[in-house]
Structure 1
Amino acid sequence: MTPDDLISPLRFLSRLPVHLPRVPRMLQGLYYAGIRNRDKNLSLAWALERAVQQNPDRPALMDEGRLLTYTQFNRWANRLAWAFKAEGIRHGSVVAVMLENRLEVLAILAALSKLGAVAALLNTTQRGKVLAHSVNLVKPDIAVVGDELLAPFSEIADQLDNRALGRYWVADQDCLADAGQSPDGWNNLMVLARRQAESNPPDSAKVRMKDPCFLIYTSGTTGLPKASILSHGKWIKAYGGFGHSGLTLNNQDVLYLTLPCYHNNAVTVCWGAALAGGAAIALRRKFSASAFWPDVQRYRATCFGYIGELCRYLLNQPPCPAEQDNSLRCMIGNGLRPSIWAEFKQRFGIEQITEFYASSEGNIGFTNVFNFDNTVGFSPATYAIVRYDLENDRAIRTAKGFLEKTRKGEPGLLISEISAKWPFDGYTDPSKSEAAILRDVFKKGDAWFNTGDLMRDIGCKHTQFVDRLGDTFRWKGENVSTTEVENVLGSYPGVEDAVVYGVEIPGTNGRCGMAALRLQPGQALDGEALARFLDRELPAYAAPLFIRLLREVETTGTFKYKKTDLKQAGYDPQQVGDPLYVRLPGSSNFQPMNSELHTALEQQTYRF
């Protein structure tokens, strides 16, 4: 943190005149963010239908070959909603959804929201046991799967608790033009919807803020994914905070979206921001750094959704003609590092960076409403940053048993008060929800959500993200559970113990995986075989890039791995006497790590 990052009252007040034209929308956003009555009939469906009334003929969605107005998109969602209803889907029904980024997935999610049904957003990169666990965890009534993901879903059929799960198929093409022929055993969802009514179903007017909207999978410290409940109320708070107060897009704007639609950033933050202003979303299947600027030019995009890694990829690209005098004026996302913030803003001419902080399961969000640099912004919620003991991994309590707040600029644990205004929806597993709550924090009987993140107060209710706590690290925009990776490595032949942690590579965002392994006596590391195994068993973002071979593994009295020293030593041969290995970008093998390779990594010779 630099002195320039601190926000004094005078500095804050000097910024206000520039934002005066936005005040009405900002106040509107604060209204939605602060609604206490969770029985109120506000929802994603309500927001969509409101946008349709206000912008019936304006573009709502587009891709390379299609453009739908708000009226056309809403009619499609209505036909799907009536089709789901005819198939028995009702208020509270859980529907597992697994499609890649295309217009069909947003139409399906809109349809489910109109019925008050709950969409479980399956991560499209999950495979095998992890995918089966994610499906079984939420006990869905039916599953909707795109043809592009039919193979991995079919592979887990015998691992599902409900073998008779209703299965609905969506062709991998423009389903409005041709619904395709579904495979044996699958219902063709788009054919079922073809002759349904185009009117808004009456159910949409009955969906309340307290009702679940999405189940979003999050990797925690307990191994396999957890399903966090994102209520319509929380979606509406994002619609207000990010859409009305933060970005204030209008019906002339186009938001370019490459983030996967199983992410909260895509379906809540970006979609909510677009609907709040009647803006269009230009959707791309997968992010491509080389295609980014040509796409921005094609769609005349004025905004885009980001994660920090995406921004780094763009900076690493050589300048191209399409980025010159581009149409972008703002961006919304999280994880943009202070080290590249100014460079990114200057090179690409971005006027407004709406960095935010939020989590799928939490009850607090920050938004960079006033466009300061290097901050996640402001939050109207009741929160505190408290002193934290990193070595013993716990919040520090005073002699009286309470927590104490940090000083301005001092890192600490971010916690947020749980109240009627800021409820905690938690996880599908009540025990996981209770584990995330701190009680008797500042007085007997109070309850606060433990975000698990280190933040610092930089003044005027603005904060700066510092780091993520616990046995989770973030790489390639994804949270990686060390326990999950440790379990996978533990099943590899010859591995006695596996300790996984995150380490930083210069010039990258987040932390990549490193594994310290203790092999069985007489075993040697086969780097190529291990790489093949990891590719088969884990998503690319979760697979460790560094290996350290240990003679002994230190544990605590409760048999938890001691990771502090391992993290500090990282992959530096000068600090590690044990054998070290690295998997370089594009390589199918782990090769020995030496001082020359370490220097090359420090000098950012390789792009991870």
Structure 2
Amino acid sequence: MSQDTISVRDIARQLPGVVRRAPAIAKGLYYYSLKNDQKDLTLGTLIEHNAEKYGSRPAVLYDNRRLTYTEFNAWANRIAHYLRAGGLGRGDSIAIFLENRPELLAMVAGAAKIGVACAMLNTSQKGKVLAHSINLITPQMIVVGEELVDAFEGVRDEVALGHDHPYLFMPDTDSLHDFGQTPEGYINLAEQVSHYRGDNLTVKDRPRLGDTAVYIYTSGTTGLPKAAPGSHRKFIKAYGGFGLMTLNMGPQDVLYCTLPLYHATALLVCWGSVLSGGSAIAVRRKFSASAFWSDIRRYGATTFGYVGELCRYLLNQPASPDDRNHTLTKMIGNGLRSSIWKPFKERFGIETVAELYASSEGNIGFSNFFNMENTVGFSTAPYALVKYHEGTRDPIRNAKGRMEKVKSGEPGLLLGEITAKWSFEGYTQKEATEKSILRDVFKKGDAWFNTGDVLKEIGCRHLQFVDRMGDTFRWKGENVSTTEVENIIDESGLAEEAIVYGVEIPGTNGKAGMVTLVPQDSSVESFDIDRLFRYLQDNLPPYAIPVFVRVTSAIEKTGTFKYKKVDLKKAGYSVDRPGERVYAWLPREKGYTLVDEALVKRIDGGEIPF
């Protein structure tokens, strides 16, 4: 754990840079602090403003495609015209099932113009999890990319949609005028949209700042994915807080984004920041460490969106004389570990690390406004760090029933106070929303959002991330719900009992998934590990498939029948427990491998590139 501290003197050293950004900070503060939910300021109006002010500047870059703000706005308008002609309007929703490509951004922008919210489906999902996510929203329509038709067809009969013609097909081509081959039962959206005008719409029932613009799916801490509504306000806060106040984005900037656009970091934070400066977003379908720097040079990118895992991959690439031969100076994201923070900046010549802390559903966010080292920054929102029960996300209440704040420098559970200004949008499920709210925390009648994360103060109200608590762990930049994975395994018919948790692997970010299970109808030795792997592949996204499997004849419990998860976490993937077998899903392998002591040593030694 890092022992970094931030002093007043450290802050003072950054003040000249703050003064230079003063005009952008003042403008950003205005947008960040907007309170009127009925204000006519939305994602759609931001794009229309940029089309008017920066019309000939690039808005979206993708492979060999270059769309100016004028072109992108016209495309979004044609989509909006089509959706309105289909009877959709303010308060309706559609589901988006597209990989990272310009069509996704155009769909979100077009829908936003008429007040239609987009449910941003995780493109790694399949089977029961995908069907569940769609049915949480009951959208009018679903836009399915050509690259994901097979995945959707697997659940098509299990989802409820509200329109007479709900299945919209988006071809995966290099041209807006190439409509591809439409699958049976679908409407070719690209072809249909091409018939509509590209002028800005006149909308009687215009969307407002407080309306839902997108639904972002989060694992939460228990069960299947939850859908968190994200209002236009969240785009505006990113626009002002990150784009203007922190990054000071301008028309000359290009932000390179390989993070999945169904995530809030990419869609809200990165794209919102781009819109603030009339900048361009360069999108890549999936991250590639080997292609990263050539892409940066190709697009002339000045900024990129990251998660800590991505940075570690780049740092692990062989050093090159071209490591500083690029235009990149800024980065925005989360999860950059203290151990690689300075090495990454120094090797690649990065000046600004806009590390942040936020959640899709939460009411609290932190930003590294002063460009300090090893911190998520500070927040103007009211928050508290309180004492908690180790190994859970449950705060401790004292004899009077109130919670207690930790001392400065001590890890504490982060809570965000829920007020009129700092509202909690929560989830589409009221029960899940209420479960995340703590009441009568410091006084009778107050309400606070429980983030489930442990952070600590390192000086001048700057926080440092410590750990994610409870039944969620983070792997490959994704939050994984242990309960979700356990439920999927329970339905396999292969396990009598299964408990899922995260374990640390040396040299990696986050925690790798591990399951300890008791076979249903077989012994430890005869358990069909290959059958389990095939089942997990069919029902879970790759990042949620357990990296390790421990097969045992019994799982130890406490006297109150609770699993001793702490003991299992301590054991990790060791093979010194008699009568048990441990398997590992090694990189580039198509199944699990039996773990022995030699393999444990290789993993512990960092020889295997998870």
Instruction: Report the TM-score, using the length of structure 1 for normalisation.
Output: 0.96
**Structure-2 residue corresponding to 1:69:** 68
Q: Does 1:471 align with 2:471?
A: yes
**Structure-1 residue corresponding to 2:537:** 535
Task: Give the Cα–Cα distance (whole angstroms) in 1 for the partners of residues 252 and 128 of structure 2.
Answer: 45
Contact persistence 2:308–2:335 (CA under 8 A): yes
**Structure-2 residue corresponding to 1:573:** 575
Contact persistence 1:569–1:576 (CA under 8 A): no
**Structure-1 residue corresponding to 2:150:** 151
Deviates more, 1:62-71 or 1:388-397: 388-397
- CA apart distance, 1:325: 2.0
Task: Give the Cα–Cα distance (whole angstroms) in 2 for the partners of residues 412 and 577 of structure 1.
Answer: 39
Secondary structure of residue in 2 paired with 1:304: strand
> What is the percentage of aligned positions where both structures have the same residue?
52
Amino acid at match of 1:304: F
Q: Does 1:506 align with 2:486?
A: no
Deviates more, 1:235-244 or 1:265-274: 235-244
Contact persistence 1:527–1:591 (CA under 8 A): no
CA deviations 1:299-319 (Å, max 9, x no partner) are 111111111111111111113
- CA apart distance, 1:521: 6.0
Amino acid at match of 2:249: L
Deviates more, 1:179-188 or 1:492-501: 179-188
Q: Does 1:95 align with 2:94?
A: yes
Contact persistence 1:113–1:204 (CA under 8 A): no
- CA apart distance, 1:240: 1.2
Task: Give the Cα–Cα distance (whole angstroms) in 1 for the partners of residues 34 and 368 of structure 2.
Answer: 21
CA deviations 1:126-165 (Å, max 9, x no partner) are 1111111111110101111111111111221211234956
Contact persistence 1:437–1:447 (CA under 8 A): yes
**Structure-2 residue corresponding to 1:551:** 553
Contact persistence 1:472–1:480 (CA under 8 A): yes
Task: Give the Cα–Cα distance (whole angstroms) in 2 for the partners of residues 466 and 201 of structure 1.
Answer: 47
Contact persistence 1:303–1:330 (CA under 8 A): yes
**Structure-2 residue corresponding to 1:48:** 47
Contact persistence 1:116–1:204 (CA under 8 A): no
Task: Give the Cα–Cα distance (whole angstroms) in 2 for the partners of residues 514 and 165 of structure 1.
Answer: 42
**Structure-1 residue corresponding to 2:375:** 375
Secondary structure of residue in 2 paired with 1:455: strand
**CA gap 1:199/1:162 in 2 versus in 1, 3 angstroms:** closer
- CA apart distance, 1:460: 1.4
Contact persistence 2:391–2:469 (CA under 8 A): no
Contact persistence 2:392–2:469 (CA under 8 A): no
Unpaired segments ≥5 residues, structure 1: none
**Structure-2 residue corresponding to 1:251:** 251
- CA apart distance, 1:501: 0.2
**Structure-2 residue corresponding to 1:316:** 316
Task: Give the Cα–Cα distance (whole angstroms) in 2 for the partners of residues 344 and 63 of structure 1.
Answer: 26
**Structure-2 residue corresponding to 1:20:** 19
Contact persistence 2:494–2:532 (CA under 8 A): no
Task: Give the Cα–Cα distance (whole angstroms) in 2 for the partners of residues 393 and 62 of structure 1.
Answer: 41
- CA apart distance, 1:605: 0.2
Deviates more, 1:80-89 or 1:38-47: 38-47
Contact persistence 1:294–1:322 (CA under 8 A): no
- CA apart distance, 1:594: 2.7
**CA gap 1:598/1:88 in 2 versus in 1, 3 angstroms:** same
**1:197-208 correspondence runs (5 A):** 197-203=197-203, 206-208=206-208
Secondary structure of residue in 2 paired with 1:278: coil
For these two proteins, the number of residue pairs brought into alignment is 607
Task: Give the Cα–Cα distance (whole angstroms) in 2 for the partners of residues 80 and 365 of structure 1.
Answer: 32
Secondary structure of residue in 1 paired with 2:150: helix
Task: Give the Cα–Cα distance (whole angstroms) in 2 for the partners of residues 444 and 65 of structure 1.
Answer: 59
Secondary structure of residue in 2 paired with 1:432: helix
**CA gap 1:42/1:557 in 2 versus in 1, 3 angstroms:** farther
**Structure-2 residue corresponding to 1:220:** 220
Contact persistence 1:411–1:466 (CA under 8 A): yes
**CA gap 1:391/1:90 in 2 versus in 1, 3 angstroms:** closer
- CA apart distance, 1:205: 8.7
Contact persistence 1:115–1:204 (CA under 8 A): no
Instruction: Report the TM-score, using the length of structure 2 for normalisation.
Output: 0.96
Task: Give the Cα–Cα distance (whole angstroms) in 1 for the partners of residues 438 and 558 of structure 2.
Answer: 23
Deviates more, 1:536-545 or 1:567-576: 567-576
Contact persistence 2:90–2:206 (CA under 8 A): no
Contact persistence 1:476–1:541 (CA under 8 A): yes
**Structure-1 residue corresponding to 2:83:** 84
Secondary structure of residue in 2 paired with 1:238: helix
Task: Give the Cα–Cα distance (whole angstroms) in 2 for the partners of residues 549 and 514 of structure 1.
Answer: 11
- CA apart distance, 1:581: 2.4
**Structure-1 residue corresponding to 2:299:** 299
Q: Does 1:360 align with 2:360?
A: yes
Contact persistence 1:471–1:501 (CA under 8 A): yes
CA deviations 1:546-592 (Å, max 9, x no partner) are 12223322446775533122112212335787432222222233333
CA deviations 1:329-349 (Å, max 9, x no partner) are 011111111111111111111
- CA apart distance, 1:528: 2.9
**1:265-414 correspondence runs (5 A):** 265-320=265-320, 322-391=322-391, 393-414=393-414
Amino acid at match of 2:535: F
Deviates more, 1:547-556 or 1:354-363: 547-556
Amino acid at match of 2:75: W
- CA apart distance, 1:393: 4.9
**CA gap 1:343/1:451 in 2 versus in 1, 3 angstroms:** same
Q: Does 1:7 align with 2:6?
A: yes
Task: Give the Cα–Cα distance (whole angstroms) in 2 for the partners of residues 576 and 266 of structure 1.
Answer: 46
**Structure-2 residue corresponding to 1:178:** 178
1:601 to 584, 599, 603: 603
Amino acid at match of 2:328: L
**Structure-2 residue corresponding to 1:234:** 234
**Structure-1 residue corresponding to 2:111:** 112
Task: Give the Cα–Cα distance (whole angstroms) in 2 for the partners of residues 227 and 204 of structure 1.
Answer: 28
**CA gap 1:30/1:251 in 2 versus in 1, 3 angstroms:** same
- CA apart distance, 1:192: 2.0
Task: Give the Cα–Cα distance (whole angstroms) in 2 for the partners of residues 507 and 391 of structure 1.
Answer: 23
Task: Give the Cα–Cα distance (whole angstroms) in 1 for the partners of residues 577 and 240 of structure 2.
Answer: 49
Task: Give the Cα–Cα distance (whole angstroms) in 2 for the partners of residues 282 and 204 of structure 1.
Answer: 34
Unpaired segments ≥5 residues, structure 2: none
Deviates more, 1:177-186 or 1:22-31: 177-186
**Structure-1 residue corresponding to 2:188:** 188
**Structure-2 residue corresponding to 1:134:** 133
Task: Give the Cα–Cα distance (whole angstroms) in 2 for the partners of residues 557 and 141 of structure 1.
Answer: 49
Secondary structure of residue in 2 paired with 1:110: helix
Deviates more, 1:26-35 or 1:520-529: 520-529
**CA gap 1:391/1:169 in 2 versus in 1, 3 angstroms:** closer
Q: Does 1:487 align with 2:479?
A: no
Contact persistence 2:393–2:453 (CA under 8 A): no
Contact persistence 2:141–2:161 (CA under 8 A): no
Task: Give the Cα–Cα distance (whole angstroms) in 1 for the partners of residues 165 and 378 of structure 2.
Answer: 44
1:590 to 589, 592, 597: 592
Amino acid at match of 1:44: L
**CA gap 1:390/1:565 in 2 versus in 1, 3 angstroms:** same
- CA apart distance, 1:410: 0.6
**Structure-1 residue corresponding to 2:452:** 452
Pairwise CA RMSD = 1.9
**CA gap 1:119/1:560 in 2 versus in 1, 3 angstroms:** farther
